[in-house]
C-alpha cells in the first residue's frame, strides 16, 4: 500500500472514534443473523456459527487496519468462521443502515443515563429546598438588589427549569428510538427480510419506514444537540449563580472546600473552579450544535460521508 493511500485511509477512517459503537454493532449483527436464519435466507447451521463467533470475544483492533468498526467486526467473524460462512454476515444489509442504527442505539442509552442524572439533580434541589423554606435571601434583577425571596423559592425555580429539560429529553428519545435497519444502502434489498423482527430484537419502539430517510437523515442528532444546548444553558445559569453568590461581594453562599481551590499567590482566596468549568463547557455543547447544523445544511439527500463528522 502506498503512503499516499495510507494517508487517504487515515483521513477518511472513523475507526478511532468507533469504539463507543462496538457493542451496538455486535448486537445489530446478532439480530440481523437471527432474522436471516428465521427467514431461511441463510442456513441455520451457518447462522449458529456466526452467532457463536459474535458472542465470543472478538479480536478487534481499533486502528487503521480496518476502515471502521463495521468492517472490523465482519473481518473478526470471518477470521473465526471462514469466509464462506462469515461472509453471510453482510447479506441484506449495508454499513449505511447499520451505522445509523448503531448511533441511535448508543445515543438512546446516553439519553437514558442523562435523564437519570437530571432526575438526581432535581431530587437534590428538592431536598435542599425543604431545608430552606424559611431561609430569606435577596433576589436580584440586573444584578441589582430587587426583592426578598426564600432560598427554597430560588431552588425550585431551577427544578422547574430542569423539568422542561427533562421533558425535551424524553421527547427526543422517542424520535431517536426508531430503527433504520433493513433500509440497506438507500433502497432496501431484494431479500425477503423482516425489518420488524430486527427492530424488536434491538429494543426499538418502531421503524423508520422510508428507506431513504432512514439512512439519509441525522436530524435526530441535531435535535438532540439542540435539547442538550438548552440543558447546558440551564446548568450554566446555575453555575453562574453559584459563582456570583459565592463571591465576597455577595456572600449569599459558601461553596465546600472540595469544589474550590485557592490561589498560589493569594491563599486567602476561594476560587469557584468547578462552577467555572461547568460554565465554560456549556459553551462546547452550543458549539457542537452549531457545527452539526453547519455540516448537515448543505448535504444532498441520502448517505454522505459528511455524516461521520456530525
| Residues carrying an active site annotation | 142, 263
Cell numbers for 91 = 447479506
- How many CB atoms sit inside 10 A of residue 90's CB? 17
- At what angle are helices 44-55 and 22-38 packed, to 10 degrees? 170
3-state secondary structure string across the chain: CCHHHHHHHHHHCCHHHHHHHHHHHHHHHHHHHHHHHHCCCCCHHHHHHHHHHHHCCCCCCCCCCCCCHHHHHHHHHHHHHCHHHHHHHHCCCCHHHHHHHHHHHHHHHHHHHHHHHHHHHHHHHHHHHHHCCCCEEEEEECCEEEEEEEHHHHHHHHHHHHHHHHHHHHHHHHHHCCECCCCCCCCCCCCCCCHHHHHHHCCCCCECCCHHHHHHCCHHHHHHHHHHHHHHHHHHHHHHHHHHHCCCCCCCCCCCHHHCECCCCCCCCCECHHHHHHHHHHHHHHHHHHHHHHHHCCCCCCCCHHHHHC
How far, in Å, CA of 162 to CA of 129, rounded? Answer: 15
Backbone dihedral region for residue 142 (phi beyond 0: left; psi -120 to 50: alpha; all else: beta): left
Amino acid at each position: 500500500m502506498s503512503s499516499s493511500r495510507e494517508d487517504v485511509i487515515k483521513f477518511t477512517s472513523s475507526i478511532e472514534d468507533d469504539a463507543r459503537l462496538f457493542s451496538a454493532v455486535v448486537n445489530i449483527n446478532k439480530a440481523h443473523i437471527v432474522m436471516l436464519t428465521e427467514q431461511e435466507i441463510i442456513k441455520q447451521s451457518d447462522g449458529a456459527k456466526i452467532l457463536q463467533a459474535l458472542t465470543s470475544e472478538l479480536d478487534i483492533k481499533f486502528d487503521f487496519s480496518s476502515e471502521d468498526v463495521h468492517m472490523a467486526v465482519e473481518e473478526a467473524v470471518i477470521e473465526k468462521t471462514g469466509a464462506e460462512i462469515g461472509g453471510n454476515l453482510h447479506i441484506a444489509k449495508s454499513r449505511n443502515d447499520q451505522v445509523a442504527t448503531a448511533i441511535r442505539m448508543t445515543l438512546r442509552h446516553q439519553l437514558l443515563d442523562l435523564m437519570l442524572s437530571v432526575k438526581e439533580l432535581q431530587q437534590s434541589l428538592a431536598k435542599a429546598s425543604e431545608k430552606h423554606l424559611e431561609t430569606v435571601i435577596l433576589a436580584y434583577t440586573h444584578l441589582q438588589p430587587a426583592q426578598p425571596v426564600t432560598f427554597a423559592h430560588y431552588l425550585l425555580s431551577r427544578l422547574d427549569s430542569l423539568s422542561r429539560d427533562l421533558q425535551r429529553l424524553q421527547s427526543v428519545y422517542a424520535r431517536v428510538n426508531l430503527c433504520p435497519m433493513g433500509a440497506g444502502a438507500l433502497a432496501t434489498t431484494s431479500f425477503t427480510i423482516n425489518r420488524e423482527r430486527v427492530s424488536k430484537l434491538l429494543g426499538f419502539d418502531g421503524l423508520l419506514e422510508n428507506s431513504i430517510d432512514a439512512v439519509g437523515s441525522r436530524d435526530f442528532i441535531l435535535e438532540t444537540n439542540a435539547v442538550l444546548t438548552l440543558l447546558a444553558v440551564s446548568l450554566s445559569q446555575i453555575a453562574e449563580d453559584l459563582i456570583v453568590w459565592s463571591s465576597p461581594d455577595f456572600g449569599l453562599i459558601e461553596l465546600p472546600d472540595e469544589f474550590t481551590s485557592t490561589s498560589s499567590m493569594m491563599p486567602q482566596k476561594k476560587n469557584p473552579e468547578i462552577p467555572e468549568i461547568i460554565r465554560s463547557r456549556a459553551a462546547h455543547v452550543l458549539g457542537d450544535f452549531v457545527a452539526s447544523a453547519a455540516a448537515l445544511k448543505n448535504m444532498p439527500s441520502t448517505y454522505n460521508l459528511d455524516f461521520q463528522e456530525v
